[in-house]
Every structure is written in structure tokens, then in C-alpha cells.
Amino acid sequence: MEPHGVTSEPTPRGRARNPRGAGARLHDEIVDAAVTLLDETGDPSSLTLRGVARATGVKAPSIYPHFDGIDEIVTALIEHSFSQLESDVSDALAAAPSLGDGLHAAAHAYVRFGWEHPARYRLMFAASGYAEHAVNAYTLVEQTLTHCVADGTSTSTDPHRDTFLLWVALHGIATLEKPGRAELLRLGPIDRDAAIDDLVERLAKITHRP
């Protein structure tokens, strides 16, 4: 006998529907479904309780043991997205052969996240967006720049200010440099990777890469 509100038919993604209230797993699957839904549609208005429930493979009432409503799901989506951004930046820093290379890699990882997940990125930095750990990726970059100053890779005299300036520039290129936008194409071809590297070297005052 199936729980109330749950059927065993496959979802549109071909996965059997989850049992109602399946603990932390269902909680996480609800968030994952909201993330996928927003990435696929690019439209925050697609984040409705029914839409997320359908993408998760449950009926809408099954969400309530885990979230009070769509606003809580959106908050969890934003928290998940900032964690993913932090992980991308952290992985880029860890894989780099030097601190200077790490700053370059972190900058590319940051901008790439914005390009690959534009709808989520806009939502993360909207006025209503909130995540307790939203500044963690920023902090990783600031710490790296501080270490670059200590080992002579950077001539920055104010790593906190220069990290902020770098973030502003990366945020701009992540949101403005959209290849499909005609008004930006009129500016002419831009080597985006080279532009990101130039921003790092100028704003973080990188002198060399040991």
C-alpha cells in the first residue's frame, strides 16, 4: 500500500517517486530538484511548490515536513549555490601550483560559475538573497592575496580593499559578458580568459608567479 499522496509511476526523469518524508535524503532531493529546475528554465518564477514537488517526484504536501513553503526552498537553494561556488573556488586554489596561479584559477572558477548558472547567480546576489556563508568564497580569495603579499607575489598594501575591487570586477564580467547579447557584441571580440587574467594581475597587483 502506498503512502498518501505518493504514486509509484516513474517521474519525467525516469526515477521512481520518493516515499513521503524520507528524512534528510528527501530534504536534499527537494533542494537538488529546485537547483536543476532553475538551471534548466533560467526563470525564478518556475520555482513554485508544485513545480519543485513535481521535479522531486513527490506530491506538494510531502514537502511540508521539510520546508514551510517555497521561500524556504529558495533560501536553501541559495545556500546550496554559495556552497557550490565556495567549493569551486577552493578546488581551483588547491589545484594551482602557486599562490599567484591560485588567484588566477580562483577568478576563472568564480566567473565560470556565473556564466554556467546565470539564473542562480542573479538570485544569489538579489536583494532578497541570503546565505549565512555567502562571503566564504570571497574570504578564500582575500586570504590567498594576503599570502601573496607575504611571499612577494603581490605588491598590494591593502589586500582587503584589493580583494573587494577584484570581486567587483569579476562580478561585472560574470553578469555583463553574455556572448548572446547583441548590445555587447557591438563592443567587438573580447578574449574573456585574457581579460580575467588581466583583472587579477592589475587589481591584486600580482608581480610574478613563483
The residue out of 67, 101, 125 marking a domain boundary is 67
Average pLDDT value for residue range 82-92:
97
Q: For the chain, how long is the longest CA-to-CA vector?
A: 69
pLDDT computed for residue 24 by the predictor = 74
H helices of 96-191, in order, are 99-116, 118-124, 136-150, 159-176, 182-185
Any idea what the Cα angle at residue 119 is, between residues 118 and 124, rounded to 5°? 95
More confident residue, 147 or 62: 147
pLDDT computed for residue 192 by the predictor = 85
Q: Does some domain include residue 165? A: yes
Q: Does some domain include residue 45? A: yes
**% residues pLDDT > 70 (the chain):** 82
Q: Judge if 29 and 91 occupy the same domain.
A: no
pLDDT computed for residue 4 by the predictor = 33
pLDDT computed for residue 158 by the predictor = 97
**Alpha-carbon 45 to chain mean position:** 19
- Contact indicator for 142, 160 with CB cutoff of 8 Å: yes
Query: Does the structure show a pLDDT above 70 at 177?
Result: no
Identify residue 155 by its one-letter amino acid code. T
The residue out of 11, 36, 67 marking a domain boundary is 67
- Number of domain units in the chain: 2
Query: Does the structure show a pLDDT above 50 at 137?
Result: yes
CA–CA gap between residue 96 and residue 7 (Å, rounded): 48
pLDDT computed for residue 18 by the predictor = 44
pLDDT computed for residue 91 by the predictor = 98
CATH number, position 142: 1.10.357.10
Q: Judge if 124 and 162 occupy the same domain.
A: yes
Q: Does some domain include residue 125? A: yes
Q: Does some domain include residue 40? A: yes
How many residues are listed for the chain in this entry? 210
pLDDT computed for residue 39 by the predictor = 94
- Three-state secondary-structure class, residue 49: helix
The residue out of 67, 100, 125 marking a domain boundary is 67
pLDDT computed for residue 9 by the predictor = 34
User: Per-residue confidence at 180, pLDDT binned at 50, 70, 90?
Assistant: low
pLDDT computed for residue 56 by the predictor = 92
Supply the DSSP string of 148-170, one letter for each residue: HHHTTSB--S-HHHHHHHHHHHH
**2 DSSP assignment:** P
Q: Judge if 85 and 182 occupy the same domain.
A: yes
CA–CA gap between residue 29 and residue 22 (Å, rounded): 10
Q: Which domain holds residue 31?
A: 23-67
The pLDDT tens digits of the residues spanning 102-111 come to 999 999 999 9
Q: Can you give the pTM of this predicted structure?
A: 0.82
User: Per-residue confidence at 128, pLDDT binned at 50, 70, 90?
Assistant: confident
Cβ neighbour number for residue 64 with a 10 Å cutoff: 12
Q: Judge if 62 and 117 occupy the same domain.
A: no
Q: Judge if 130 and 48 occupy the same domain.
A: no
Among 173, 38, 153, 20, which residue's Cα sits nearest to residue 99? Answer: 153
pLDDT computed for residue 23 by the predictor = 65
Q: Judge if 32 and 119 occupy the same domain.
A: no
- Contact indicator for 39, 118 with CB cutoff of 8 Å: no
Q: How far is CA 188 from CA 70, 93, 164, 185, 198, in A?
A: 42, 32, 28, 6, 18
The pLDDT tens digits of the residues spanning 36-78 come to 999 999 999 999 999 999 999 998 888 999 999 999 999 999 9
Q: Judge if 31 and 105 occupy the same domain.
A: no
pLDDT computed for residue 15 by the predictor = 40
Query: Does the structure show a pLDDT above 90 at 20?
Result: no
